[in-house]
């Protein structure tokens, strides 16, 4: 404790320290004096200097407001992490046992475009096709909420209710845990990912790098080799 207090004290600029040392109130002299033979410690979380009056030798002390014990929690940076489960069904019946799932943590301020990139990377796919996020899983064309790369690349959006993905942030689309969207990647092969927001957490550190928190199941190959090549697999 005393060591930590001393460290805090020594972190102050030298001119500030010498000013503090020469202006400690002495109850005996009834004036500001220089403190001698002082030691440092914490008292109620702040550094306190305790020593003796340089003039009369009376005990004196000085509390250093704003020179606190090193804070245990990191300062809040206001960043929120969105935790998603993203999965593919690897059979026609969409049974949960055959889910291929990636749990992804990403800052809510990232764009949908960024999110799409992270998803494709998490599944080992090339980020080489158009995509969109839709709230209608059966008929994505009928979605009331749709965010498509087409809109950003200036191709004609299929309807005016559609928005782009580059300027739209995750936290503008996903509002609460349990909300699901279809992430359709590659309009030719139609990879259908289910994206579900699981939780929103306050970030402890301002780390904007997305993270894969969990991987369940082996991702399918985006471009599988010709069938006769894998016959004896
Ligand atoms: Zn004194």
CATH number of residue 179's parent domain: 3.10.290.30
Q: What is the CA(32)–ligand 1 centre distance, in A?
A: 8
What does the block give as tokens for 80?
């929120």
pTM of structure: 0.64
pLDDT (0 to 100) of residue 112: 97
Q: What is the CA(51)–ligand 1 centre distance, in A?
A: 11
Q: What is the CA(59)–ligand 1 centre distance, in A?
A: 8
Task: For residue 145, give the DSSP letter.
Answer: S
Q: What is the CA(85)–ligand 1 centre distance, in A?
A: 68
Q: Match 């969990």 to its residue by tokens.
A: 214
pLDDT tens track for 74-104? 455 678 999 999 999 776 777 777 789 999 9
CA separation, residue 181 to residues 110, 177, 209 (Å): 16, 12, 22
pLDDT-flagged residues of the chain (< 70):
1, 66-77, 91, 155-159, 226-233
167 and 96 in a single domain? The answer is yes
Residue 100 lies in a domain: yes
160 and 189 in a single domain? The answer is yes
CB-CB contact of 119 with 106 (8 Å): no
Our count of domains for the chain comes to: 2
């Amino acid at each position: 404790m005393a060591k930590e207090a001393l460290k805090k004290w020594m972190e102050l600029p030298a001119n500030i320290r010498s000013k503090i040392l020469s202006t400690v109130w002495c109850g005996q002299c009834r004036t500001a004096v220089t403190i001698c033979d002082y030691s440092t410690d914490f008292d109620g979380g702040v550094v306190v200097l305790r020593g003796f009056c340089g003039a009369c030798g009376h005990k004196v002390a000085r509390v250093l407001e704003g020179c606190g014990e090193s804070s245990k929690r990191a300062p809040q940076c206001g960043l929120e992490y969105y935790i998603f489960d993203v999965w593919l069904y690897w059979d026609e019946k969409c049974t949960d046992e055959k889910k291929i799932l990636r749990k992804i943590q990403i800052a809510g301020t990232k764009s949908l475009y960024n999110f799409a990139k992270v998803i494709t990377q998490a599944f080992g796919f090339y980020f080489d096709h158009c995509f969109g996020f839709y709230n209608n899983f059966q008929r994505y064309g009928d979605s009331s909420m749709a965010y498509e790369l087409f809109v950003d690349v200036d191709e004609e959006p299929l309807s005016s209710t559609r928005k782009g993905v580059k300027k739209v942030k995750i936290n503008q689309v996903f509002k609460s845990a349990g909300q699901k969207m279809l992430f359709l990647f590659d309009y030719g092969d139609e990879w259908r990912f289910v994206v579900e927001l699981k939780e929103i957490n306050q970030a402890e550190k301002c780390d904007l790098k997305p993270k894969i928190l969990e991987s369940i199941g082996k991702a399918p190959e985006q471009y599988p080799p010709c069938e006769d090549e894998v016959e004896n697999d």
